[in-house]
Amino acid sequence: MLATRSVARLAAQQSHQLGSAPKNARNMATLREIELRLKSVRNIEKITKSMKMIASTKLAKAQRAMTAGKEYGVANSEIFQHTPAETPAKRKLFIVVSSDKGLCGGIHSSVSKATRRAFADTENPVDADSPIMVIGDKSKGQLSRVLANNLALTFNQIGRDIPTFADAAGVADLIVTSGVEYDSLLIVYNKFVSAISYEPAIVEVANENTFKESGGFRAYEMEDDVTKDLAEFTLANAIYAALVEGHACEQSARRNAMDNASKNAKDMIDSLTMKYNRGRQAAITNELVDIITGASAL
């Protein structure tokens, strides 16, 4: 009977040893996972570095275009200084300048938040049904969740490259012919502060009625087409200035975002490399201990 129990115990031990995994199996699996993760993070770092270099090149071109485009905004400002609105407007048309591309930080959410703040402003109230027109799919998606009923017109495929005055003129023509009624027009865009910072800004553009009612224009006899053409031209000027400045902000934000992503990837690579080396050293130590233990048993 004692022999039967010994044989059963020996068989159970052998079956347990055959069914169990080696001691270092878990360490080997963990090292393999870390190695695969290191490889993927290194690939991501290569991509973010390449995107940073591309954004840096595009930023230089965008800054040159912004410098030239700002002259259009300066010309508009001189005209608007001599044509102030006599009565405050409540029904305002908001033109939100954004783009279709992402991977550039909070460049799109900044103009969306500025638009929502303008609607919630109690000092300068606007009508709750004031129309909104959006240039770019990113801000369109953000504003459609909050102010979907106010969206009157949206534009895309503008600003894929450096914006041109033809793009701005096409947008202005569609706005004029859309039939949307408004008392005043506000352009919400990102203002370029430096290569590493930007801020949302709102510029007001005078419409045809403002020109007709201003004292500076009433002092002269002119045809109706003059104020109409001037209003459309100043709108195209303002949109073009906002487009080129917003494009420069986008490229700057994308370069900064890719730079931060590259730094984070480098920190992750250092951490994973340290973890991998420690795991490999532990596995080697365990194998040496098993070898020495087996040799001592002999």
Question: What is the per-residue pLDDT across 131-158, written as a single tens digit (0 to 9) for each?
Answer: 999 999 999 989 999 999 999 999 998 8
CA distance 175 to 153: 8
Can you list the alpha helix ranges (DSSP code H) found in 82-180? 107-120, 137-143, 165-177
CA distance 76 to 98: 21
Question: What is the per-residue pLDDT across 73-94, written as a single tens digit (0 to 9) for each?
Answer: 777 777 777 676 666 677 889 9
Give 98: exposed, middle or buried? Use CB within 10 Å, 0-12, 13-18, 19+: buried
Per-residue pLDDT band at 12 (split at 50, 70, 90):
very low
Q: Which CATH superfamily is domain 47-218+225-257 in?
A: ATP synthase, F1 complex, gamma subunit (3.40.1380.10)
Question: What is the per-residue pLDDT across 230-285, written as a single tens digit (0 to 9) for each?
Answer: 888 889 999 999 999 999 999 999 999 999 999 999 999 999 999 999 888 888 88
pTM, two decimals, is 0.79
| Structure-token match 């532990």, residue found | 282
CA distance 92 to 82: 21
CA distance 171 to 157: 12
CB 77 within 8 A of CB 245: no
**Torsion sign (Cα): 134, 136, 139, 142:** positive
CB 136 within 8 A of CB 99: yes
Q: Write down the pLDDT at residue 215.
A: 66
CB 107 within 8 A of CB 193: no
- What average pLDDT score do residues 183-201 get? 91
CB 171 within 8 A of CB 239: yes
Q: Write down the pLDDT at residue 7.
A: 41
Question: Residue 99, Cβ neighbours under 10 Å: how many?
Answer: 24
Say whether pLDDT at 3 is over 70: no
Say whether pLDDT at 15 is over 50: no
- What average pLDDT score do residues 205-217 get? 74
Cβ neighbours for 233, distance < 8 A, ≥ 6 positions apart:
none
